[in-house]
A and B are shown apart, each in its own frame.
Chain A
Amino acid sequence: AQKVTQAQTEISVVEKEDVTLDCVYETRDTTYYLFWYKQPPSGELVFLIRRNSFDEQNEISGRYSWNFQKSTSSFNFTITASQVVDSAVYFCALRGGATNKLIFGTGTLLAVQP
């Protein structure tokens, strides 16, 4: 069975703080893909990153960075120097190699206070 766990339901930080959103996944597939999406209050899911199971290289994009560790089945997302505009629900998602279905975690609501 495939499963994504985002244990943090809500996180509140003050602007300019760094924050890490945790994601733990379960899958028996050897080939799989991991994603992060941002859902602001407007409702649209915004694609942030895709990582495949063969690429454990960490990635940095501006203030965003992702840490993929197969040994702990985790794909954590860090926002450096958070801003109010980062306030949103963030979803981690998993797709197995043989299926087109995205399995979403329950999401983490990030509130960045000015």
Chain B
Amino acid sequence: DAMVIQNPRYQVTQFGKPVTLSCSQTLNHNVMYWYQQKSSQAPKLLFHYYDKDFNNEADTPDNFQSRRPNTSFCFLDIRSPGLGDAAMYLCATSRDKAAGANEQFFGPGTRLTVL
């Protein structure tokens, strides 16, 4: 089945130790998104790629970076995780930005714990 895959599902890191979260998709969608969702809160968009074009949200901390080496993969790098970065990280895709193709399909998420 076509889907959005996130690995690992659970990630534990130490304060200040860089960590990378992975997302892949078999949907061949042009757009990939990264969201942060803290406990009992709504998902918050960090950034998205439209093909190779990177779009950062204005309030996304510099500590968060992203890479999209090809259509299928997108990575979230947290350079120096703090305790406040503990959250669920959700990857999503949409076929395009156009009106008829903008439903976002989400992966299962990676729950990040920072010790």
Shortest Cβ gap from B51 to chain A (Å)? 12
Distance A106 CA – B31 CA, assembled complex (angstroms)? 24
Of B13-21, B77-85, B101-109, which stretch is located at the interface?
A: B101-109
Q: Give residues of chain A (40-61) contacting chain B, Cβ–Cβ below 8 Å.
A: 42-47, 50, 52
Interface size for A (C-beta < 8 A) is: 22
Nearest chain-A residue to B88 (Cβ)? Answer: A43
Cβ contacts A20-51/B at 8 Å (1 or 0 each): 00000000000101010100001111110010
- Contact flag A43-B97 (CB < 8 Å), given A50-B103, A107-B42: no
- If A47-B105, A101-B45, A106-B42 are given as contacts, then 20 extra A-B residue pairs at C-beta distance below 8 Å, sorted by A number, are A42-B108, A43-B108, A43-B111, A44-B109, A46-B106, A50-B103, A91-B42, A97-B99, A100-B48, A100-B50, A100-B94, A100-B97, A101-B57, A102-B43, A102-B45, A102-B104, A104-B42, A104-B43, A104-B44, A105-B42
Which residues of A does B touch, CB under 8 Å?
A: 31, 33, 35, 37, 42-47, 50, 52, 91, 95, 97, 100-102, 104-107
6 contacts between A and B (CB under 8 A): A52-B99, A100-B97, A101-B45, A102-B45, A102-B104, A106-B42
